[in-house]
Amino acid sequence: MRRRAVILVLDGVGVGAAPDAAAYGDAGSNTLGNLARAVGGLNLPNLAAAGLGNVAPLDGVHAVPDPQGAWGTMRPASAGKDSTTGHWEIAGVHLSRPFPTYPDGFPDEVIEQFSAAVGRGVIGNVAASGTEIIARLGEEHERTGRFIVYTSADSVFQVAAHEEVVPLEELYAACEVARAQLVAPHDVSRVIARPFVGRSGAYVRTANRRDYSLAPPEETLLDDLAAAGVPRAGVGKVDDLFAGRSLSARHTTSNAEGISAILDWLRGEQGGLLFANLVDFDQLYGHRNDVAGFERALREFDDALPAIREALREDDLLFITADHGNDPTTPSTDHARERVPLLALGEAVHPVSLGERATFSDLGATVAEWLNVGFRGQGASFLPVLERGH
């Protein structure tokens, strides 16, 4: 039977401030810890059985004497605290500087160069919520045909356009232009096409979003697997984060759909790696400081965990982790510089503490060793600890 591995990223589900969190303005951030206190204790029995309460003190989630798997935490070693940085680090790539962000909008020369190249004017150029900015500027966009350009706390250049004003192919082409133009020092991690429909007062974004990411600057775990002929599959936005290099993914619109896709893969005959991202924690709840929604999403994942575990085959390893924090209890709506949880499940796993790993890349190195592939990235495998229990 072919070995398989699953890296399941709970987007934004950090477990406490990283040692350098203060340098990022995130002292005191603790996504799971603060959330647990805010709701009077988390009720996550299946994650608790897997060892989540052994990872860190969490109200309502207690340490258990005999977890079903191995547990630990991982510190971020790369500069930055966004999804691209976190996923690249898992795959073995460290960044020495964070991707640039633009809380006051992009420099005039960036906007002017983009506008001249695509042949349309630009309105907006602010940091804003996507739904808010199309509500505010959608009518002007329809009247003038100008692109709505905006950013967020993330390193993104977002281009919004009404599908009846700007054909989708033109919007996509404009985003490809922006991607080519946005090089250092303005090398944002993603350019995002944000099409919408409807009329003033009732605009809605469509499912025709498209992301244009920077390619990783070095070889990743995915490249190593591809070179060795090991199959790779994705769920969620993961392929976008790697600019589609060595990975394709089944895009999903919710955690529930993502969990369904994960189960489909586990119950299938595919081998190799599944790299999955469940984004609702971050996108719907962390960025909106929605404590109740975040807690509900965790309970929904916890409810699904037994089915995921039951679908594991004898030679499967399942790793549950995160890419950064996004504490919904703090005034900030930005990502947080946090440690992330690390849970490992599967028949080969001994119940053992993995301690605090010095980098997310230790996970990529471990997956490579499990799948018998040479790994050229950063990180040190903890597979011997998983298999021997010490």
In the predicted model, what is the mean pLDDT of the chain? Answer: 96
Q: What is the mean pLDDT of residues 246-272?
A: 95
In our burial notation (b when 16+ CB lie closer than 10 A, e otherwise), range 189-203 reads: bbbbbbbbeeeeeeb
Q: Is CATH 1.10.8.640 what the domain over 108-210 is classified as, yes or no?
A: no
Give every CB contact of residue 240 below 8 A, 6+ residues apart in sequence.
Answer: 190, 211, 213, 249
Confidence band, pLDDT 50/70/90 cuts, at residue 388? confident
Confidence of residue 257 (pLDDT cuts 50, 70, 90): very high
Residue range(s) occupied by CATH 3.40.720.10 in the chain: 4-95+217-388
Could you give the percent of the chain with pLDDT greater than 90? 93
At the top level of CATH, which class does the domain 4-95+217-388 belong to? alpha beta
Q: Return the percentage of the chain with pLDDT > 70, whole number.
A: 99
For the chain, give every residue range classified as CATH 3.30.70.1250.
Answer: 108-210
Asked if 11 and 31 touch (Cβ cutoff 8 Å), the reply is: no
pLDDT at 278: 97
C-beta neighbour count of 127 within 10 angstroms:
18
Q: 298-349: per-residue pLDDT in tens? A: 999 999 999 999 999 999 999 999 999 999 999 998 899 999 999 999 999 9
Rounded CA-CA distance 147/212 in Å is: 17
**211: CB partners within 8 A, 6+ apart:** 190, 191, 192, 193, 237, 240
- Which pLDDT does position 2 carry in this prediction? 85
Q: Is the pLDDT of residue 151 over 90?
A: yes
Whether residue 1 has pLDDT greater than 60: no
- Per residue in 45-60, pLDDT (tens digit) is 999 999 999 999 999 9
